[in-house]
Amino acid sequence: MPQLPTLDVSEAAYRRRFAEPDFGLDLAEVVADRCRLPRPLVRRVEGSNLVFRAGDGPWIKICPPYWRDAFDAEVRVTEAAQGRLPAPIPAIVESGELEDWRYLVSTHVPGVQIQEVLPSLGGAELERIAADLGQFMRAFHAVAVPGFERQFGPWSRYLDERLAGARELHLSRGVDPARVDQIAALLAARAPALRALGPPVLIHADLTAEGARQAAILRAEGEAKAIATVFAAIHAGNPDQQLLSYQYLQMLPKLAQGEANKVFVIPSEFTQAFAGIGDSLSRRLPPQSEEK
């Protein structure tokens, strides 16, 4: 193997250089040669891994050794979900290693990312998206991955750690102490219900913030604090399906602005919200003949 400078970078250097458009190109060239992929290799700077498009063909994703757990989770869940969802998802066609780094090659799925069009969408269009999203998530929740668990799990341990550390977390972020007391009281009241959730299902979410842009709720790096906080607050009011759907729809812009895709195991009561999107909002959709 030729000399590959990127393989020797520290995690600190990786984070510092991540925004450089050609960072990791040496690794991508090796993967492209191995898999006989077209050129040019054009990097998309997003998420936490190194992502390149090979010409008009497939995508290359290269994962550093710092978060192999997330990479393994993505591969395992993608393979399990393939062909079982109402919309196409990328298929993994190649995977391998570059010393202690890992890579995969996946097919390209045509389409437009929602953050590119979200500001221009009207209410009816958002409702259509929400209905489709609800159906997609219902199917995704039905995918079983035996023995699947992330390193920060199981859910019961993860939840207990988040509940125990909530006060310190919010204080460290400069939240007003009075507000922190309110959050702590809310979590304490809802803790028994949260601990009773189950069984687990898969959920794919985008929850990493960029700097302070989403400091109010989406600053956890790959953690589900945002989901737990939002749903605890919603459930405190004993909502119905339609309210759950509406609250999740309100979160779509925040989710679309994130930078990293993560795979979580979340208890199945959260399915209510996603199923509700498809059920309650679909009853309010305009006729199919209406112009889009």
Ordered by where they begin, the domains of the chain are 5-106 (3.30.200.20), 114-284 (no CATH)
Backbone angles phi, psi at 96, to 5 degrees: -175, -165
Q: Degrees (nearest 5) of the Cα angle 51, 57, 92?
A: 65
The answer, as to whether pTM is greater than 0.75, is no
| Per-residue confidence band for 59, with pLDDT thresholds at 50, 70 and 90 | very high
At 183 the pLDDT is: 86
Q: Look up residue 182 and give its two tokens.
A: 């309110």
Strand (E) or helix (H) holding 96: strand 92-98
* Pick from 204, 200, 199, 198: nearest CA to 77: 204
| Dist. CA 248–CA 130, nearest whole Å | 9
Contact present, 57 and 63 (Cβ < 8 Å): no
**pLDDT for 197-239, tens place per residue?**
766 777 655 444 333 333 333 333 333 444 444 445 444 544 4
Q: Looking at residues 55-76, what average pLDDT do you find?
A: 91
DSSP for 32-63, please give it.
HHHHT--S-EEEE--SSSEEEEETTS-EEEEE
CA gap 66, 56 in Å, rounded: 30
CB 45 within 8 A of CB 112: no
Q: Which two tokens stand for residue 90?
A: 């990328």
Asked if residues 140 and 204 have their Cβ atoms less than 8 Å apart, the reply is yes
Mean pLDDT of the region 161-176: 88
Would you say 28 and 60 are in contact if contact means Cβ atoms under 8 Å apart? yes
Q: Is the pLDDT of residue 186 over 60?
A: yes
pLDDT of residue 218: 37
Report the C-alpha gap between 217 and 223 in whole angstroms.
11
The CB density around residue 214, as the number of other CB atoms within 10 Å, is 19
What is the C-alpha to C-alpha distance for residues 271 and 180, in angstroms, rounded to an integer? 28
Residues 6+ apart with CB under 8 A from 33: none
DSSP state at residue 76: H
Model confidence pLDDT, tens digit, residues 75-122: 888 889 999 999 899 999 999 999 999 999 999 999 887 778 888 888
More confident residue, 195 or 8: 8
Rama region for 156: left / alpha / beta (φ>0; ψ in -120 to 50; rest): alpha
The phi and psi torsions of 271 (rounded to 5 degrees) equal -60, -30
In this prediction, residue 261 has a pLDDT band, given cuts at 50, 70 and 90, of very low
Which residues is 102 bridged to in the sheet?
Answer: 63, 97
- CA separation for the pair 273, 138 (Å, rounded): 10
Asked if 102 and 68 touch (Cβ cutoff 8 Å), the reply is yes
